Amino acid sequence: MPWVDELSEPQQLRHCIRDLVALSTLPALWKDYDSRQIADSAAAALLSMLDADVIYVSAPGLRNQPAADVIRTRGAVTAESSGRVERILRSAWRGKREQISVIDNPLGTGTLRIAAAPMGFGGDDIIVAGSPDPQFPSETHRLLLGITANHATLAIQRWLAEAEQRRLVSVIERSSEFVGFAHLDGTPQYINKAAFELLGLSEFQELQTASIFDFLAPDEQTRARTELLPMVMRTGRWLGELNFRHFKTGEVIPFLLDWFRIDDPRTGRPTNMAAVSRDLRPQKKLEDDLRRLNESLEQRVAERTSELAEALERLTIEAEERARSDVRAQNLQAELHHAARLSTAGQMAGALAHELNQPLTAITNSVNAGRRMMANDGPLRVDTLREILDEAGQQALRAGEIIRRLREFVTRGETDMRIENLPDLIGEASELASAGTGLHDVEVRLSFDPRAATVFASRIQLQQVILNLIRNAHEAMTQSEWRQLAVTTARLDDESIQIVVADRGSGLPDSIVEHLFEPFHTTKIDGMGLGLSICRSIVEAHRGKLDYEPNDGGGAIFRVTLPVPLQH
């Protein structure tokens, strides 16, 4: 023991013993101190015991807090120079540990001898002492410095551990989950506030007389005792659902329980057990609500789906029904169309005699004329006979054509519509009309507008119309003084042309005008009153119209208005 050899003087020995005793009381003094207070108190004790000029202590602070650095000097120093001295001492000592340093005295003149003792935290924490005394540090000084550093380290370590513990306790206390510790025999040691409330315990007393198995629902206790606890002891942990019970109401509370063993880190032997558990009621309620919601949703979806399916079925049936009625409507339309044609055809059949009468009369006349010629004893004029026969043949062909067209119109075949030269068409019709009636004393004036040169029409049908109009005009003029007939064409506008048949005949009595275009209205003894109604049907089939107006100064005017053919 080198330091003992040094203490030859009884005086020094007494001092030393006194200092050691004083140091041994420090831990008791530091019981409620924090790191800074411990460092400061250690610095104060050492300043006096070592008869030093300066003591600097650097101790650790709490987590996330700065180090508790403290400096104590014999004489008064300003805060500024205290900081400077602290830095000098720190750098003089950095890395040297046990050695002694000699530096320029930052507090006065001459040199300062420095000794240090590290604190046991494994970092830069240290106690540094400085003195101008050339004997400094003696073995005794270094001994006192070392003991103080050890005591301070232990005290600060305890303070840090207690702070950590306080933090943990406050976390556990504030936790909303059940947290508890128990002895290995099942006697509860501690449960947090949440646990007290969840189980309806009011007194700590109640807790001490209970067993952890009393916390459980009666039908869970046996399983916990015979299965779960042995598993915790054997494997270290059990995690699962377990029903607890409320001490006051007896309500069964489902918990998710994490039950584990606590072992002594040094021996590895179990010392306690602990449980952290969560009340599953809110979660179960949520699950229940969700399940109910799901069920009602599923039901609603099912209802809606079947509603939709029904609606779809209804729609399909309706669509089929509509398709069927569409077909029916189409058939009906076709039938109507056909019926309309047939009725027109009926009218036409009536008129057929009327129309055919003309070529047939012409044929009969021709044949009679031929026969008369052959019966005469005079010389047979072959040329004249050929003309007569040609005329008869042409009229027979025309009669056949009239019948063919009528058949075509009655059956559903398309009418033979094409672009026709209007003056030609009218000229031909006019000739036919004259040929049929034999009224050669009628003055016929044809006048054609070159801007109405063509028409899109069935030649035969339109000729029939003109023929009819001319023939009616002829007939109306039998008694007239001036037998004038004008057939003219005109371009009305961009879209229509007109054929006008005007005569100087008897004109039309009002009684006839009203029903002029209706069938079977006639003033003639042998008339059928069909011609004009057929004419109007034909003109309308050509997307045109047929109108009547009285001729100023006597007579009738019939106007056939037709669309201009597309390429014009």
**145, 137 in Cβ contact below 8 A?**
yes
- Does 506 interact with ligand ADP (rule: CB under 6 A)? yes
Piece of the chain touching ligand ADP by CB under 6 A; list 52-60, 336-344, 453-461, 521-529: 521-529
Residue by residue, DSSP assigns 487-511 as EEEEE-SSSEEEEEEEE-S----HH
Piece of the chain touching ligand ADP by CB under 6 A; list 210-218, 307-315, 442-450, 529-537: 529-537
Residue from 50, 556, 560, 562 binding ligand ADP (CB under 6 A) = 556
Sequence-separated (6 or more) residues with CB below 8 Å from residue 130? 52, 53, 54, 55, 56, 89, 107, 112, 113, 114
3-state helix, strand, coil in the chain (%, to 5): 55, 20, 25
Residue from 136, 529, 539, 559 binding ligand ADP (CB under 6 A) = 529
Q: Please report, as a single letter, which amino acid is at residue 290.
A: L
Residue by residue, DSSP assigns 189-239 as EEE-HHHHHHHT---HHHHHH--GGGGB-HHHHHHIIIIIHHHHHHHSEEE
Min. distance of Cβ 369 from ligand ADP in angstroms? 27
- Phi (first) and psi of residue 222, to 5 degrees: -65, -45
Residue from 523, 543, 545, 563 binding ligand ADP (CB under 6 A) = 523
CB nearer to ligand ADP: give 340 or 353. 353
Residue from 242, 476, 546, 562 binding ligand ADP (CB under 6 A) = 476
- Does 433 interact with ligand ADP (rule: CB under 6 A)? no
Min. distance of Cβ 484 from ligand ADP in angstroms? 12
CB nearer to ligand ADP: give 42 or 486. 486
- Does 532 interact with ligand ADP (rule: CB under 6 A)? yes
List the alpha helices (DSSP H) in 77-216.
Answer: 79-93, 139-174, 193-199, 204-209
- Does 512 interact with ligand ADP (rule: CB under 6 A)? yes
Sequence-separated (6 or more) residues with CB below 8 Å from residue 437? 471, 474, 475
- Does 522 interact with ligand ADP (rule: CB under 6 A)? yes
- Does 490 interact with ligand ADP (rule: CB under 6 A)? no
User: Which residue is listed with tokens 């039998």?
Assistant: 478
- Does 478 interact with ligand ADP (rule: CB under 6 A)? no
- Does 531 interact with ligand ADP (rule: CB under 6 A)? yes
Min. distance of Cβ 330 from ligand ADP in angstroms? 35
Quote the tokens at residue 125: 């924490």
Min. distance of Cβ 517 from ligand ADP in angstroms? 8
Quote the tokens at residue 549: 């107006």
CB nearer to ligand ADP: give 162 or 540. 540
- Does 513 interact with ligand ADP (rule: CB under 6 A)? no
CA distance linking residue 20 with residue 474, whole number of Å = 164
* H, E, C per residue of 355-389: HHHHHHHHHHHHHHHHHHHHHCCCCCCHHHHHHHH
Residue from 253, 348, 362, 473 binding ligand ADP (CB under 6 A) = 473
- Does 544 interact with ligand ADP (rule: CB under 6 A)? no
Cα angle 264-153-118, degrees, rounded to a multiple of 5: 125
Min. distance of Cβ 514 from ligand ADP in angstroms? 11
Piece of the chain touching ligand ADP by CB under 6 A; list 11-19, 247-255, 388-396, 504-512: 504-512
The maximal CA–CA distance of the chain, rounded, in angstroms, is 205
Q: Which of 561, 417, 426 is nearest to 495 (CA)?
A: 561
- Does 465 interact with ligand ADP (rule: CB under 6 A)? no
Please give the residue ranges that form the binding site for ligand ADP (CB under 6 A).
Answer: 472-473, 476, 503, 505-508, 512, 516, 521-524, 527-532, 556
